[in-house]
Amino acid sequence: MTKQTGSLVCVGTGMMLGGHLTPRARSAISLSERLFMAVSDPIVEKWLENMHPDARSLQVFYQPGCPRDRTYQRMVETILSSVRKGIRVCAAFYGHPGVFACVAHRAVEAAHRAGFSARMEAAISAADCLYADLGIDPGKWGCQHYEATQFLTRKREVDSSAYLILWQVGVVGDETHSRLSTGKLERQLLQQKLLRMYPEDHLMTIYEAATLPISSFRSETIPVKKFVTVALSQHSTLVVPPARTCEVDHETQQLLAKSRLKEQD
């Protein structure tokens, strides 16, 4: 199919103002004719506005009480309507555009379906900052990432010998996806769920990456039993380290050893 003239590139600004934008993202922004911005901080919006003469915020779609899915759909429709007009569009999201964020994925899919050229550029997410700031290598013992409300409301087999990372913990339990924070009841339910998997004194960390070069990250360690009382924001991520060592699969190790011996024969 011949590609139509409009196009879309979704980029991420990374987490830290000015310091995380990749050269590819910067180039996509400057080559675009229109820039949409879905970033959580007005300072980041101002910074992007200085980079582009036609920068438009998507924050207007966040209305109190409006279900998040409707908000996201409106954002996708707004981005796509410019692409359909034949405009070279760039959409900038904070962090990584496709990590715990659906608008960029949906917009790229919709643009492809309509026959337009569209792609997503990789960027620095909160997880990347977390690995660096907290000294965690996800490859050491494994690492499970879940959206907090989904984790709470679904039956999951959690591997407590690996890291567990819960995103959007500040709005845990908000199944309407329309609130800016949730309260004691929702947190109690999450704490109870964690207590079924971890000892009550197991230490976990509330993490918030620095978003300005002059600020530092937040890393607050609390036992599972104190989770209800800790201060959480929209930017908090919960990190639960392994609580036990991983069991060795001796049977498979023996099969591997046997096959190595055979290769040597």
Catalytic (active-site) positions: 68, 72, 94
Widest distance between CA atoms in the chain: 71
Closer Cβ to ligand SAM, 234 or 259, answer by number? 234
What single letter denotes the amino acid at residue 193? K
Q: Which residue number, 137 or 247, has a Cβ lying nearer to ligand SAM?
A: 137
Q: Compute the least distance from the CB of residue 87 to ligand SAM, in Å.
A: 24
How many Cα atoms sit within 13 Å of 83 on the Cβ side? 29
Nearest to 13 by CA among 69, 93, 85, 78: 93
When the beta carbons of 129 and 224 are compared against ligand SAM, the nearer one is: 129
Residues of span 2-61 touching ligand SAM by CB under 6 A:
15
Binders of ligand SAM among residues 165 to 224 (CB under 6 A) are: 167-168, 170, 207-209, 211
Place of tokens 């819960």: 166
Residue 43 main-chain phi, psi, to 5 deg: -65, -40
Spatial contact of 191 and 216, defined as CB atoms under 8 Å apart: no
Q: How far is CA 198 from CA 80, 129, 195, 208, 245, in A?
A: 45, 25, 5, 23, 13
Scanning the chain, the segments in alpha helix (DSSP H) are 23-31, 42-51, 68-84, 103-113, 126-134, 138-141, 148-153, 184-195, 250-264
Min dist. Cβ of residue 31 to ligand SAM (A): 23
User: Residues 106-145: x/- map of binding to ligand SAM (CB under 6 A)?
Assistant: -------------------xx-------------------
CB of 74 to ligand SAM, least distance (A): 16
Residue of this chain nearest to ligand SAM (CB atom): 95
> Does position 237 bind ligand SAM by CB under 6 A?
yes
Q: Which is nearer to ligand SAM, 116 or 227 (CB)?
A: 227
The residue ranges that bind ligand SAM (CB under 6 A) are 15, 95-96, 99-101, 125-126, 167-168, 170, 207-209, 211, 234-235, 237
